[in-house]
Amino acid sequence: MFKQLVRLVLLVIGCELVAADGLVMAARPEAPENPKLSEVFALAIHGGAGATPAYLPPKVQEDCRRALRRALAQGKQILASGGTSLDAVEQVIRILEDDPHFNAGRGAVLNQLGGHELDAAIMDGRSLACGAVASVRTVKNPISLARLVMTRTGHVLLAASGAERFADTTSVQRVDQNYFRTAAKVQKWQRVRSNPQARAKELDRHMGTVGCVALDRHGNLAAGTSTGGLTNKQFGRVGDSPLIGAGTYADNATCAISCTGKGEEFIRRAVAKDISARMAYQRISLDDAVRTVLEDELQPGDGGIIAVDHQGQISVRFNTAGMYRGAADWRGRFEVGIGRSEIPIASPAPLATGSNCRSL
């Protein structure tokens, strides 16, 4: 009996921590090994904002829609099966990077010197861990190298030769610059080079960039963005895509964001972080935050934003004539579009009268 009493006392002592000031604090219970997954998941994707897709041949338009559907289906399958938001974001963006119709990976635009410099970023909303690369030249899928920056280094952003040297220490696939080049992007570069006045028109047509935001069944958010930048950009130019808080951001407490458009404007206004901050400090909805930033901080024609919050609400808005985009969730939603009114509004709130920004 005495021995049993001693064991009981020792057990109680082992389950409590006595603070120096005499307060008793219970030991933190261990998390269950197999927590029940929520049924809720959601993701949104984009393939760049710009002008109306009407200037594209019908076959190219359908090819773009097909690529968006393929990427969206892959992301939805990962999330539905209990996979992580980070895996979904990376795999979706890899599909878009491999498709020559988009300005990321294969199909990236040419810079002033006729070469390719690619940027990408990824962020984990659970821990605020993030990784990014800028001005890489031989990495087939920059989004995967960005994730390795996040997981294998203590840094956030590696650029140019430093990012290339880091890639040498990994197993990411490397390619020659010719891999990124397509006839369509070369012709676009030549038009801009031969006629400087054509530059603005080309920029307005399709500003490129691909991105994905996701909420997984574990309740974690993630965001990623990848781009080839601007046609005929100055050598070494870096836009908003790899800059955390400008073109990419994720925080489990608020939302995940990926932006596309005129990068300098998104950098100046820290657009991605601004949306998250408005949700946190003003206690407004995701869609209200996205709409307010597009209407009040950015100018018509600056670009677009995809976002998902911690409850699975999706907002996809843009103030350009069109944006390549898609959305899916646990309720069976699965839709893609490239024009203004091609598919139903993604946001729960309708557009305000006279608004300059368009929804999904």
Please, are residues 175 and 152 in contact by the beta-carbon 8 Å criterion?
no
Instruction: Tell me the percentage of the chain whose pLDDT exceeds 90.
Output: 75
pLDDT in tens, 279-292: 999 999 999 999 99
pLDDT given for residue 34 in this prediction = 46
Residue 200, pLDDT above cutoff 60: no
pLDDT grade for 360, boundaries at 50, 70 and 90? low
Select the more confidently predicted residue: 53 or 192. Answer: 192
CA neighbor of 208 nearest in space, from 193, 188, 183, 179 = 188
Q: Where are the domains of the chain?
A: 42-359
- Between CA 323 and CA 304 the distance in angstroms is 7
Check pLDDT > 90 for residue 254.
yes
Residue 89 near residue 122 (C-beta atoms within 8 A): yes
- Confidence check: pLDDT of 354 > 60: no
H helices within the chain, ranges in order? 2-14, 58-80, 85-98, 142-152, 160-168, 183-194, 198-205, 263-268, 271-282, 286-292
Concerning whether 138 is annotated as a catalytic residue, the answer is: no
pLDDT of residue 155 exceeding 90, the answer is: yes
Q: Which helix (H) or strand (E) segment is 2 a member of?
A: helix 2-14
Between 215 and 351, whose confidence is greater?
A: 215
pLDDT of residue 166: 98
Residue 31 has what DSSP assignment? P
* Cα–Cα separations (whole angstroms), residue 121 to 33, 52, 88, 93, 198: 31, 27, 14, 11, 30
pLDDT band at 25 (very low <50, low <70, confident <90, very high): very low
Between these two residues, 340 and 225, which has the higher pLDDT value? Answer: 225
Q: What is the torsional sign of CA 162, 170, 259, 187? A: positive
Q: So what's the pLDDT on residue 353? A: 28
**Residue 17 pLDDT greater than 50, yes or no:** no
- Predicted confidence at residue 205, as pLDDT, reads 59
| Tens digit of each residue's pLDDT (9 = 90 or more) over 298-316 | 999 999 999 999 999 999 9
pLDDT at residue 202, rounded to an integer: 56
Q: What are phi and psi of 201, to 5 degrees?
A: -65, -40
Residue with tokens 């959305």: 327
Examine the pLDDT at 184 and tell me if it is beyond 80: yes
Q: Which of 84, 209, 225, 231 is catalytic?
A: 209
CATH topology of domain 42-359: Glutamine Phosphoribosylpyrophosphate, subunit 1, domain 1 (3.60.20)
State the CB neighbour count (10 A cutoff) for residue 84.
18
pLDDT, position 196 = 67
Q: Find where tokens 């309740």 sit.
A: 219
| The two structure tokens encoding residue 105 | 């990976």
Q: What is the mean pLDDT of residues 325-337?
A: 96
Q: Mean pLDDT score of the chain, rounded to an integer? A: 86
pLDDT of residue 260: 96
Mean pLDDT of 7-21: 39
Give the pLDDT score at 248.
98
Most confident of the following: 48-52, 134-138, 198-202: 134-138
Average pLDDT over residues 29-52: 77
pLDDT at 352 over 50: no
Of the listed ranges 36-50, 192-206, 241-255, the least confidently predicted one is: 192-206
